[in-house]
């Protein structure tokens, strides 16, 4: 079932399993179970009571997310979501991973659940690179960013951080991480005595944001998709 839902653009396999466990998926009128087998076109599969539509052609886009938007499909508090920026894509998409409301930069969206899982999950090992402006800079803070640390009781792999610009205690840093946990960069900086002023993701693996304007999106090329799902992960900070 997870594979079917992913292929039809409902969610990644991981998210599809959550939908199933929450009782939101039925097969022939009965609640589905994780790992259950079914056949689209033969079995009646529904999500939240709506029949599962035909599989769509996979679509992969990058968005230069502005600040002030949350990275969800919808929000019960009425806050603007990134989905309002890609309504002209022509298909139903969902975000790959997260960028918090106050962060900006490279965000991927797709209807391919397997692609989303491969890129977003820490086991995929995709390096995510950010440009960060912060106050409170010291050489010891930079050194601390390049060492393993504990965040929210969990061990975090050492980042790769370098100084780009500095004016007094204000600095612009480039920081590359592997895990991409919730607000990880901000929490790492806080541990090191740095107060983040702005945070922008500029690369995921070999895929670079480049000159895409804030709030704009474009489709990925075939080579770019392959760079994220294959082994060509060569972006050098």
Give the residue numbers annotated as catalytic, written as ranges: 100
Residue closest to 215 by CA, chosen among 102, 110, 107, 133: 107
| DSSP per-residue codes, 6-45 | HHTTS--HHHHHHHHHTT-EEETTEE--TT----BTTB-E
Q: Using CA atoms, how far apart are residues 6 and 72, in angstroms rounded to an integer?
A: 17
Query: Own/partner pairs for 29-32, CB < 8 Å, 24+ apart?
Result: 32/1
CA 170 to CA 108: how far, in whole Å? 30
> Distance between CA atoms of 41 and 45, rounded to whole angstroms?
9
Q: Give dist(CA 174, CA 181) in Å, integer.
A: 17
**27 φ, ψ (degrees, to nearest 5):** -125, 120
Contact 16, 45 (CB under 8 A): no
Which residue stretches of the chain are H helix? 2-7, 13-21, 113-120, 139-145, 184-191, 222-229
d(C-alpha 167, C-alpha 169), whole Å: 6
């Amino acid at each position: 079932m997870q594979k079917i839902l992913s292929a039809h653009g409902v969610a990644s396999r991981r998210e599809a399993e959550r939908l199933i466990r929450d009782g939101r998926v039925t097969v022939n009128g009965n609640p589905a179970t994780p790992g259950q087998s079914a056949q689209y076109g033969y079995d009646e599969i529904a999500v939240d009571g709506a029949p599962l539509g035909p599989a769509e052609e996979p679509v992969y886009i990058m968005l230069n997310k502005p600040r002030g938007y949350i990275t969800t499909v919808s929000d019960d508090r009425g806050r603007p979501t990134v989905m309002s920026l890609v309504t002209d894509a022509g298909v139903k998409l969902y975000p790959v991973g997260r960028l918090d409301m106050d962060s900006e930069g490279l965000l991927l969206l797709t209807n391919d659940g397997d692609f989303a899982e491969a890129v977003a999950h820490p086991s995929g090992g995709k390096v995510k690179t950010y440009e960060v402006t912060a106050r409170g800079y010291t050489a010891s803070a930079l050194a601390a960013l390049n060492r393993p640390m504990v965040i929210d009781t969990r061990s975090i792999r050492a980042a790769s951080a370098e100084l780009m610009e500095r004016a007094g205690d204000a600095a612009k840093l480039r920081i590359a991480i592997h895990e991409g946990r919730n607000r990880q960069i901000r929490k790492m900086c806080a541990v090191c005595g740095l107060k983040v002023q702005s945070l922008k993701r500029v690369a995921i693996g070999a895929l670079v944001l480049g000159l895409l304007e804030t709030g704009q999106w474009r489709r990925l090329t075939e080579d770019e998709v392959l760079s994220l799902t294959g082994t060509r992960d060569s972006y050098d900070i």
